[in-house]
Amino acid sequence: MLLNYKQATEKDAELVALLATKIWKNYYSSIISMEQIEYMLEKMYSIKSIQQQMKKGQQYTIVYDSNQAAIGYIAISTNDNQNYFLHKFYVDTNEHRKGVGSTLFNHLLKKDLKNAKTIELTVNRQNFKAINFYFKNGFTIKSVADFDIGNGYFMNDFIMIKSNTSVSITK
């Protein structure tokens, strides 16, 4: 699969926000309420919020298909260039089951995380497709956590970790 990648800048925050809205409304409506989706999009995926995340060190990468249409994005950060946090890993639902996620994750491992000792992330405990993807790619559950995000909403997540990331991705 031929994909192209672009390191996002603050100017790309609008594109990321549009992708987030499309992906979240299509995918997460079977996992959480539309009210919570709207709240989270405004709180964490608005243009302003994405720009603030970038200023605080989150590195966004946008993935494009062979027609140069944006179809997903990732965001990572690190404090020590060895231990990373994968904040966001989203692919347009129309591209699911086509190898985009695996290709994107492999790109991430080879380019941005080639020297990583650990990668940590959080994933909704009801997001079985993502959990299985992460298991398949060497992650284990580190702990269970409920994060109060305000307005009476919680993120009910697994905290997952992958160590020794030099291991290649499984397709």
Q: Is residue 14 part of a domain?
A: yes
User: pLDDT tens digits for 136-153?
Assistant: 999 999 999 999 999 999
Percentage of the residues of the chain whose pLDDT score is greater than 90:
82
Q: How far apart are the first and last CA of the chain?
A: 13
Q: Is residue 81 part of a domain?
A: yes
Task: Please state, in angstroms and rounded to a whole number, the distance separating the CA atoms of residues 91 and 71.
Answer: 6
Give this prediction's pTM. Answer: 0.90
The pair of structure tokens assigned to 127 is: 């997001």
Task: Please state, in angstroms and rounded to a whole number, the distance separating the CA atoms of residues 118 and 99.
Answer: 23
For residue 41, the enclosing domain spans: 4-163
Q: Is residue 168 part of a domain?
A: no
